Amino acid sequence: MKRIGLTVRAMRTISAIGATTGLLAAVAVATPAMAVEGNAEAAASKKSMCIGCHGIPGYKASFPEVYNVPYIAGQNAKYIEAALNAYKKGDRKHPTMRGIAETLTEQDIADLAAYYAQAK
């Protein structure tokens, strides 16, 4: 009798774990679908680390050497987001942009993309 009681309890525990795991799996699957909303206003404090390069006349940075800096204002938000994620992941190799993108969260990227998409 005692044995059966234990088995039943063990089975209850196992099914409880199963239910929890299933729930966690559902949450994990649902997360990527909930896209991060970009907020242009939230980018106000974040863009200070971009304007040094992306906001200068002629769009050239002079350090460490003179190179062209792409004009990103008015660019499509999805494009900016994709570009920043590519630097972050290392698919795009530019060292400065990689260094910057690595410090940005998903939310930062969405906010900056929203900001630059509507900037002129």
- 64 preceded by a cis bond (ω within 30 of 0): yes
* CB 73, min distance to ligand HEC, A: 10
Q: Using CB under 6 A, pick the residue from 39, 85, 96, 107 that binds ligand HEC.
A: 96
The reply on whether position 54 binds ligand HEC by CB under 6 A is yes
The reply on whether position 98 binds ligand HEC by CB under 6 A is no
The reply on whether position 117 binds ligand HEC by CB under 6 A is no
Contact 113, 74 (CB under 8 A): no
* CB 71, min distance to ligand HEC, A: 8
The whole-angstrom separation of Cα 5 and Cα 1 is 6
Show the tokens assigned to 111.
Answer: 């906010």
Residue carrying the six token digits 């242009």: 40
The whole-angstrom separation of Cα 70 and Cα 36 is 25
Binding stretches for ligand HEC (CB under 6 A): 49-50, 52-54, 61, 67, 69-70, 72, 80, 83-84, 92, 94, 96-97, 100, 112
